[in-house]
Structure formats: structure tokens, C-alpha cells
Structure 1
Amino acid sequence: MGENTDVVFLGVNDAGMRVYDWLCDQSGVFVHSLLTTKEQLGLIEDIQPDFVISCGYQHIVPEDILDIPTEGCLNLHPAYLPFNRGANPNVWSIVEGTPAGVTLHWMDAGIDTGNIIARQTVETSFTDDGRDLHERLEEAQVELFQEIWPDVVSGNTPEIKQNAEEGTYHRTDEFEELCKLDPDETVRIEDFLNRLRALTFPPHDNAEIEIEGETHYVEVDITK
């Protein structure tokens, strides 16, 4: 690397913007661009950065782009990998009772399957809804990146290889199906409450049920 560490940033959500702003303020780092669409990825070939860093980016990065940065491509994922690869990890941690957390990992051709650099669990409570956990995961992503970035630049980071057969993975269409409540379904109360609180994310209407031809939206508020 030259005098500065050259970075191209991929992101769009609140955690991504916070990491991007933090990186822009760091000495010895030059952040060339903030990319949010897949059509912009060609800029990476023009810039030839040391690192590509992704946080909140909504598109799959092709292998030919992943191969361009001299030091590699990093992704911050709001899940404790290998659990909850893919979409809506905050929701599935609650629904399936899997560990909640955040992970910094190298990007590869898979979705959230690259070698793990660092990860951190995030505490959860039965009173959490989907928004509560989402916000806690965003905060943890920023903190983890700020802690580990100096080691990344110095090349002093351990790596944990992921086993493709371990953990969990979810697609966006699975979340959409989870939102549709069946009025005739027989459920275990605790499982149903977990589902409802996972889908509670005000001001968004997620859980929905159709009664007598009308759609109703459902939220839950659990206190202790």
C-alpha cells in the first residue's frame, strides 16, 4: 500500500453511513467513493483500491470485482456468522433462537460465507422486538469495525474459515412468507410471540392477517 490506504465503500443503511463517515475522518485513509448501486461497481476497476468495504450494501458483488482490490473486500454483517447469513438476520435470531451478533468477514463468491476476521455476540431479551435488536446490531457493527480496522490495515488479523454446512441462511422471500399469518394455524404460544416480536418494527407493517376479506396488521409489545 502507498502512503494512504485507498478504500471504496459500499453501503446504504445507517450503520454503513456511520462506518463510512468514521473512515473518512481517519488519517492515512482515503475513501474514494461511496457506492450504493450495482451499476456503480465499475468504478472499482477504475480506482484499483487497496480495500473494498461493504456495510448495508444490497447487491451481490461479482467475483471479477472482488478480485480487484489488492488487499481484499470486507463485509460487515449484522449476524453472528455462520448463523443468519443472508437477509433479515435480526428477525431470524428472534424467530429461531440463534445467536445474535455482528461479524466482519472477507467477501467471497458466496453470500456471507467468507473467512471471519472478527465477530461479537449481542445480548437479547424476550422484550426485544425486531427494531430493538436491529438498532443494537447496527451499534455493534460500528463498534466492531472501529476496534478491528487498525489490525486489518496492519495485516494482523486471524481468520476463521466457515463451514458451509454449519449455521443458517435466509432469503428475502422467507421473510415475506413469515409476515403472512394463517388464522387457522395451530401454534405454540412462545413461538408465536417470538414471531410477532421479530416482525414488530414500527413504523413498518410486517405481520399481517386476513379476516373476512380484510387485511389487518399485527404488532406486539412485551414488557416486564
Structure 2
Amino acid sequence: MIENIRSKHFLFVGNRLEVLQAMLEHTLNLTICIQAKSYAAQILQQTLSPPYKTCYYEFSNKKELLSLIESIQFDILVSNGCPYILPISQLAKPHHTFVNCHPSLLPNLKGKNPINGAILYKQPSGATCHIMTDEIDSGAVISQVPVYNDFNTPLSLLYQMCFLAEKEAFLLALKRDFKPLNALHIDSKPNIAYYTRQDDDLSLNFSTQSTQEIINNVKAFAKPNQMTHLAHNPSLHFIEAMLIKNDFLESTFQQAAINDVVLHYDNHILCKRKEGFLQLTGGGGYERF
């Protein structure tokens, strides 16, 4: 059965490389639609082998993508990192299968930024391959792969772990002929149904947020193209936060008020908090505050 499914015509749509690499290795007929100017597009322009260059397309907006999908003959569309919601009920023909590889353990953390949400809300991470419907990340589950993250896993590493898990989830789905699971074990813990990053999530406020909330937010967006910033000074961005408890600092800055920034050094600031001192480390574009 696996050879039969491998011989079907696949269409990849998205902007990530790991699942696409699995499709290049394990499918026989493949057309590629990549988001223009993405990292994946830059890599494929340099490395894609000649046989695939004749069935390689780039799209810059949703209209272009929908036009490509409607013009291409395929049996199975695989979405991975597609930036647009596809109108499946309008696109689907009787012989079509639409599947998506999503970097969370659905139904937990649907939406655009599930990896950030996993750190922000201390949720388990992984990847899911599921049937696509008109609703966001809501179709029947075909396969899931957990990555067993903990709160100490850095964001950049968790991204890579989840993308590798997406590749594994796709391969498991391929072996299953993309047939949904009959039942899916759902953890009894409360889950976060959706997470899409909001501007307020990147803003740090010493007066209204607890120290742990600040640390959580910094960890959840600790990538150069994301990063939190001070609410009153958006030009200062942070990539690391840690609480320091030290008797010498307590003695030296005993006259300082809670939430005062007591030191600027290298690319760090030190803020006095009730629990100790919060060190925030800047990231990108400057060496000193």
C-alpha cells in the first residue's frame, strides 16, 4: 500500500524544509509551491535538483497561491508553514486529500505561534499531521509526535525539535496512507486551544507583571526576529532573563526602590525586584544599553 500512496501526485505548499525534504526522499511525483523570499525559497533556489526545477513555483500572496493550486494536478496536498488559510471546501475535488503538518499536539495550541505558546504557558510540544478542513488546525488527526520539552528548552532549539517532529509525523502519516486515527488520547490537563502572538505579549512592564511572567515572556520570544522589549522603551529588546538572589547586591542596593534599574553592564540591565534582582540580556544590533 505504501508504494501505491508514494506514486500519487503530491503538492507541497508552505515555507519550511523538513517535511519537504521527507517528501523529496519518499514520494515519486512532487510539485513544490514555496512562499517567495522565505528561507526555504532561498535554500531551494540554490540546492534543488534539476528534475524538480520544472515543477517548482513560488507565491507572494494568497491569490497567487490559490491560482497555483487550482492549476496543478495533484492527489495529496501537504501544507507545512503555509501563511494563509486555504478554503478547502472550495478547492477540494473528489480525489483530493488535504493534510497539514502543524508544530503542536493538537487540539492543543492551534494557531500561528504554537511553539511560543508552549513556552509561555508551559505546555507540552510536538507535531501533528491532520486532515485539513475550513477550520484552523481542526481536522481529524492522522499522526502525532511529542518532543518531550521542558521549561528549560530554549525557544530556538524547540523550533528545530518541532520542525523535525513535523517531518516524523508526516512519515508516519504516509505509512498510514493518510488515514485518520480512530481515536486520539487527549491529556486530561487543561490545554490552550489557540495561540497567536499579540503585540502585548512582547511588552514587558515591571509594574504590572510578576517576575516569573517577565521571565516566561522573554523565554517564549527569545529569537532575534521576535524578542520582548520594555513597555516604556521599545528600542530595548531582550533575549534572556534570569532571577539573581545575592546578599551583596541586596546590601548595595538596599536604598533602591522595587522596579528600579540599578545597573547597566555589557548588554544587560539589572532590575530590583521583591524576590531579588532580575537580569535582562539584550539581543541583536547593539553591544551596550
Q: TM-score under structure 2 normalisation? A: 0.64
List aligned pairs for 1:155-166, cutoff 5 A.
156-160=179-183
SS of the counterpart of 1:105? strand
Look at both structures and tell me which one has the larger radius of gyration over its CA atoms: 2
Tell me the alpha carbon deviations over residues 139-168 of structure 1, each in whole angstroms, 9 at most, x when there is no partner: 11112212331222xx654245899xx751
Matches within 5 A, 1:34-183: 34-36=33-35, 37=59, 38=62, 39-68=64-93, 70-152=95-177, 156-160=179-183, 167-172=192-197, 174=198, 176-183=199-206
Tell me the distance in 2 between the aligned counterparts of 1:89 and 1:158: 22
Matched letter for residue 179 of structure 1: L
Is the partner of 1:185 in helix, strand or coil?
coil
The code of the aligned residue for 1:215 comes to: S
The answer to whether the Cα contact below 8 Å between 1:44 and 1:68 also exists between their aligned partners in 2 is no
The aligned counterpart of 2:12 is: 9
Greater CA deviation, 85-94 or 138-147?
A: 138-147
Change (3 A) 1:103 1:81: same
Instruction: For 1:74 and 1:63, locate their aligned partners in 2 and report how far apart those are by CA, in whole Å.
Output: 10
Match of 2:216 in 1: 194
In structure 2, the partner of 1:218 is 238
- Secondary structure, aligned partner of 2:169: helix
Query: Which whole-Å deviations, capped at 9, do the CAs of 1:179-221 have from their partners, x for residues lacking one?
Result: 011232141x3333222111111x335201044x563111216
Deviates more, 1:68-77 or 1:87-96: 68-77
- Greater CA drift, 108-117 or 64-73: 64-73
Instruction: Identify if the C-alpha distance between structure 1 residues 159 and 56 changes in structure 2 by more than 3 Å, giving closer, same or farther.
Output: farther
**Structure 2 stretches of 5 or more lacking a match?**
36-58, 243-289
CA distance in 1, matches of 2:220, 2:234: 23
Partner amino acid, structure 1, of 2:212: E
State whether structure 2 residue 41 is matched by structure 1 residue 20.
Answer: no
> When the two structures are aligned, how many residues end up with a matched partner?
210
Equivalent-residue separation in structure 2 for 1:24 and 1:216 (angstroms): 42
Q: Verify the 8 A CA contact 1:80 1:99 in the aligned structure 2.
A: yes
Partner SS state of residue 219, structure 1: strand
- Report the identity percentage: 22
Cα deviation digits, residues 98-141 of structure 1 (max 9, x gap): 22111000000111011111112211133222212111111111
Q: What is the CA-CA distance between 1:2 and the residue it aligns to?
A: 9.2
> Hey, what's the Cα distance between the residues in 1 that align with 2:31 and 2:160?
28
- Unpaired stretches in structure 1, ≥5 consecutive residues: none
- Measure the CA separation in 1 of the matches of 2:201 and 2:228: 8
Further displaced range: 128-137 or 64-73? 64-73
Matches of 2:5 and 2:238, distance apart in 1: 54
CA contact (8 A) 1:63 1:109 kept: yes
Q: In the alignment, which residue of structure 1 is the partner of 2:38?
A: none
Distance 1:54 1:156, change over 3 A: closer
Matches of 2:95 and 2:228, distance apart in 1: 44
Q: TM-score of the superposition, structure 1-length normalised?
A: 0.81
